[in-house]
Amino acid sequence: MSIYILILLLSVYLLFIIIVSVNIRINYHLKAYNRIKNYDLNHISITFDDGPNLDYTPKVLNLLKKYNAKATFFCIGKNIKSNPSLIKKIIDDGHTIGNHTYTHSNLIGFFNKKRILEEIDETNKKIFKITNKNMRLFRPPYGITNPMIAKAIKETGHKAIGWNIRTYDTIIKNPNIIFHIISRKIRPGSIILLHDKSNTTIQLLEMILIFLKKNNYKSITIDKLFNLNAYA
């Protein structure tokens, strides 16, 4: 076999690994809950990553309350530490909180199992200190999965939560464009990914909530959608 064929095969393999590692919906390295197919109830789940955020999470909570919707918040440990009152408010309003690691590092894909366990454990401890709840839902930063992350959550007992509708609300600044794209994708059992850290998301969220109300959808928490235990 020539060196060129070896290089080609290696390149194809590396491309494959990259694709399956950055797309949690493929379920290659681990099983993630991304949506429910053929769901016979008009229920969906709205989820928020990267909070809590002092400027935007309260606005999100107000909108959810206004439209009688429940959501799941995947929170970053260092943000939990600086916003304990928001964590209490999220819980008091009937929403669910999940683990989104402590630092949300963009190098998460290169961490060893020990480092990932530390990220998860420290975040769980911060929530437990505030709420006396031990989180069991986990969403990896950027939806990245690999063997180390799979081994870590197998050890901790966390359930990996993905999505099937990504809004790109941290990239696209026009909420009307995002809504036009995603509204056609909403189906019973869908999971929508948002981030509670921008005005774009606030505007988009209200559009989504109005759409759900008009089409007789109900947003419920991830644990209710999949009948999972959110806390140990």
In a domain, 199, yes or no: yes
Q: How confident is the model at residue 10 (pLDDT cuts 50, 70, 90)?
A: confident
In a domain, 232, yes or no: no
Whether the pLDDT of residue 8 is over 90: the answer is no
Domain count along the chain: 1
Token look-up 């999220």 returns 90
In a domain, 122, yes or no: yes
Q: What is the pTM of this model?
A: 0.95
- Tell me the pLDDT tens digit for each residue of 76-114: 999 999 999 999 999 999 999 999 999 999 999 999 999
**CB within 8 A of 67, min separation 6: which ones?**
206, 209, 210, 212, 213
Residue 147: asked if its preceding bond is cis (omega within 30°), the reply is no
Q: Report the CATH number that the domain containing residue 141 is assigned in CATH.
A: 3.20.20.370
State the pLDDT at residue 1.
Answer: 62
Q: Please give the positions annotated as active site.
A: 49, 195
In a domain, 183, yes or no: yes
Give the span between the Cα atoms of 146 and 152, in whole angstroms.
10
Could you tell me the two tokens for 19?
A: 């694709």
Give the span between the Cα atoms of 77 and 103, in whole angstroms.
7
3-state helix, strand, coil in the chain (%, to 5): 50, 15, 35
In a domain, 231, yes or no: no
Find out whether 33 and 161 touch, Cβ atoms under 8 Å: yes
Structural domain of 113 = 3-226
In a domain, 10, yes or no: yes
